[in-house]
Structure 1
Amino acid sequence: MTETDEVHAPLVQRLARDFGARWVDEHTVADWVAEGGDRVVLLAGDPVRFPEGVDVAAVLPELMKAFPGRFALAVVAREHEDAVARRYGSQRWPSLLFFRHGHYVTAIAGMQDWDVYLDAVQAALTMPTSRPPTIGIPVVSQPGPGACH
């Protein structure tokens, strides 16, 4: 058992073991999404704090069946999820991040009803690429002349 296996719920581990999902981290995610085509990255979150992440992991194989061959899947290693979430502006757990040819498309946050998932995934696979909700530049304000130090 690897360290990654120990921190992820069994259904999240199953995505890599049985459904071809790739484990990525903050250093490898950009290269993986740039490999081409439509790509989906799962930010499952801590299964204790965000049990919906396990539900999303259970639904993903069904979404792959509903859209056969339409997207490749990756799972972010737990210890790198915060950094990847910051990079792409994801603020809710769990989240599915959609990419096309290395460019951000959209995100689906939280667990959804099946029909909502089908519509949202269909839309994500057809909409144009866009800028992530954050551009990754931290905002730092300069105190004004009357500000306390």
Structure 2
Amino acid sequence: MSHPLIERLHEDFGYPEVTLENHDGFVAADDIGVLFFPGDPKRYKETTDVAVVLPELVAAFGDQIRPAVVAKKDEIALQKHYGFRAWPSLVFVRSGGYLGTVSRMKNWAEYLEEIGELLTAEPREAPGFRVLKEGPKAQPAG
């Protein structure tokens, strides 16, 4: 189940929904995309805060970032691809590659600093998760 503040991103701001089917096309663009992984707002209380702040971040960075919301049905599969552990997360991508992730709610200065660094990062392979032979817990690959 979605939340009105997440729906607002689609309805009021026109943010597209990214699914497994259209993910590669979104990521392949030459501009910087930001994938919002909200998770379950009932479980992750910061989700609604990030949903409110995201349009402000887009405004602050002007046309430098292109936001989208990851479809609920595909969040786990795409989360495994990007290898982040904390929810909610903003995953930054460009030219088919991964730039980095900003997870959970931050203060404004932290957002500006972390995103500013990601805007100049070189695209690389997403870290993903792998399963270790010694145990069942997923660990970042690499």
* CA 1:25–1:140: 2 relative to 1, 3 Å: farther
The DSSP-based 3-state class of the residue aligned with 2:62 is coil
Counterpart among 79, 101, 111 of residue 73 in structure 2 = 79
1:67 corresponds to 2:61: yes
Partner of 1:9: 3
Counterpart pick for 2:21 among 27, 42, 61: 27
Give the TM-score, by structure 2 length. Answer: 0.87
CA RMSD of aligned residues (A): 1.5
**Separation in 2, partners of 1:87, 1:97:** 11
CA contact (8 A) 1:25 1:76 kept: yes
- Measured against aligned partners, the alpha-carbon deviations of 1:69-109 in whole angstroms (never above 9, x if no partner) come to 11111101112111110011121100000001121000001
- Following superposition, the deviation at residue 30 of structure 1 comes to 1.8
2:30 maps to which residue?
A: 36
Aligned counterpart for 1:45 among listed residues 33, 39, 45: 39
Question: 1:121 and 1:79 mapped to 2: Cα distance?
Answer: 27
Query: How far apart, in 2, do the equivalents of 1:87 and 1:26 lie?
Result: 11
What percentage of aligned pairs have identical amino acids?
A: 37
Give CA deviations for 1:3-40 in whole Å, capped at 9, x if unaligned. xxxx2111111111122211012232122111331000
- 1:145 matched to which residue of 2? none
Structure 1 residue runs of 5 or longer lacking an equivalent are 1-6, 142-149
- CA-CA distance at 1:138 after TM superposition: 4.1
Shift of 1:130: 2.4
AA paired with 2:103?
A: A
- Which has the larger Rg? 1
SS in 1 for 2:125: coil
Tell me what 1:4 maps to: none
Partner of 2:101: 107
